[in-house]
Amino acid sequence: MRRTRKTRGKALPFTPSLDVSAWLQTHPDALIACPNQPGNLKLMPASCVKRHLTANEPRWATIGAEPFHLFVFKMNLVPCRDCKIGARLARQHKEIAA
Ligand code: SF4
């Protein structure tokens, strides 16, 4: 049995009610710009700490003949391994947690 495609009518496209750039101006510490990742990546400091800690876990340290998705994951963590920004944020995060 062939299904018929439902028409969606003339609904307006979704527009977020929050002005992101205005919000970022009032919360300048919410996101940091990563100088090492491609594409002018902006991420939360907690995410940066997670990336730095994950990059320095021994199981992600070696890159060999892996399935492609693991290879890509490990290669994306390489810039985070010796990153000074990630190390500084991880230290601060540890001090806050203690
Ligand atoms: S640890 Fe460094 S390279 Fe990794 S996301 Fe944070 S700032 Fe970017």
For ligand 1, residues with CB inside 6 Å are 34, 36-37, 48, 51-52, 79-80, 83, 85-86
Whether 10 shows a pLDDT value over 90: the answer reads no
State the total domains in the chain. 1
∠ Cα 27 33 87 (to 5°): 105
pLDDT of 13: 78
- 55 C-alpha to ligand 1 centroid (Å): 10
Query: Atom 8 in ligand 1: which residue has the minimum CA distance?
Result: 34
Answer whether residue 17 is part of any domain: no
Answer whether residue 54 is part of any domain: yes
Answer whether residue 7 is part of any domain: no
Answer whether residue 37 is part of any domain: yes
Which of 7-16, 47-56, 60-69 shows the lowest mean pLDDT across its residues?
A: 7-16
Answer whether residue 6 is part of any domain: no
Answer whether residue 38 is part of any domain: yes
Q: Give residue-wise pLDDT tens across range 57-70.
A: 998 888 888 899 99
Note whether 42 and 85 are within 8 A (CB).
Answer: no
Residues spanned by the domain of 44: 27-97
Note whether 71 and 63 are within 8 A (CB).
Answer: yes
Answer whether residue 15 is part of any domain: no
Whether 23 shows a pLDDT value over 80: the answer reads yes
Answer whether residue 91 is part of any domain: yes
Whether 24 shows a pLDDT value over 90: the answer reads no
Task: Give how far Cα 33 sits from Cα of 47, 82, 85, Å.
Answer: 12, 17, 10
Whether 50 shows a pLDDT value over 90: the answer reads yes
